[in-house]
Amino acid sequence: MPLAPGNEGPVNGTELELSTSDGNRFPAYLASPERPTGPPIVLLPDAGGLDPFYRELALRFAGLGQPTLAIDYYGRTAESPARDDGFDYLPHQKQLLRETMLLDVRAGVDHLSTVAGDAPFLLGFCLGGATALLAGTTDLDIAGVVAFYPWTGELGREPALPDEFVAGVRCPVLGLFGDADTVIPTAVPRAFDGHLERVGVPHEIVIYPGAPHGFFERHYLDREVRPDTVDDVWRRLTAFFAAPRELGGRLRGGDRPSA
């Protein structure tokens, strides 16, 4: 688990079942700080769904004062809500549709907005990162999008998203990538930066040297902890949650990808 900066306060975790407009019911996990001090977050996992890592990460953000709701994608196809290491997500991932995933995100945003009383940020990893960006192109009331190495390729029977889809995002964006990622080539963040710049969406795209796919998640941190990268991620997250609209719509200094 990537350690958060500063002291964490007491939190409560609650297992939920949320409903969507099409009748789907899916598992979610709400981590609530005893003393909320920051904006809420809807957490969108990677393809594995709502596994223990994302519950732990939700608690970590809540410990920093941010109410955090982590949601699952597989309520329509998986009989059990369990998403532990024994969960075989691949058959369910093949049945995902972006349209219905956005319904799940909307249900999560609506629930957390009601609980926290404020528009949340969306924060997603891989498949969840792309879903967060796509949700940012809709009429959802969200404060901003954080996308960790978003997978925008084929999903189930659906084709890949074109890079230019990000030009439709209606809120500030923080994109976090690694130049050693063998899943998401660096051409993707470079293209995102260009499209967001063209339409004037406040954004920051960061490409970390030597960071592979999943560099902020458990499977990477268990293999090789990079405190410099993790510390920088937390710093940028803290700044983005505090004032996302202050982003200048450009890459910052040493974060600019090499030609």
Q: What's the pLDDT score for residue 251?
A: 34
Bridge partners for 216 per DSSP? none
Q: How far apart are CA 119 and CA 35, in angstroms?
A: 18
d(CA 170, CA 173): 9
59 near 139, Cβ under 8 Å?
no
- Taking the C-alpha atoms of 141, 119, 144 and 177 in order, what is their torsion angle to the nearest 10 degrees? -120
pLDDT at 207: 95
pLDDT in 10s for each residue of the chain, 259 residues: 566 666 678 899 999 999 999 999 999 999 999 999 999 999 999 999 999 999 999 999 999 999 999 999 999 998 888 888 788 988 999 999 999 999 999 999 999 999 999 999 999 999 999 999 999 999 999 999 999 999 999 998 899 999 999 999 999 999 999 999 999 999 999 999 999 999 999 999 999 998 889 988 855 454 555 678 888 999 999 999 998 766 643 333 334 333 2
Give the pLDDT score at 248: 47
Give the Cα separation of 133 and 123 in Å (integer): 9
What does the domain layout of the chain look like in residue ranges? 11-255
Which amino acid belongs to residue 79? Answer: E
Beta carbons of 125 and 45 less than 8 angstroms apart = yes
pLDDT for residue 249: 39
* 11-255 has CATH 3.40.50.1820 classification: yes
Q: Are 228 and 202 in contact (CB under 8 A)?
A: no
Q: Which of 7, 15, 2, 65 is nearest to 219 (CA)?
A: 2
Query: Phi/psi class of residue 156: alpha, beta or left (left: φ > 0; alpha: ψ in -120 to 50)?
Result: left
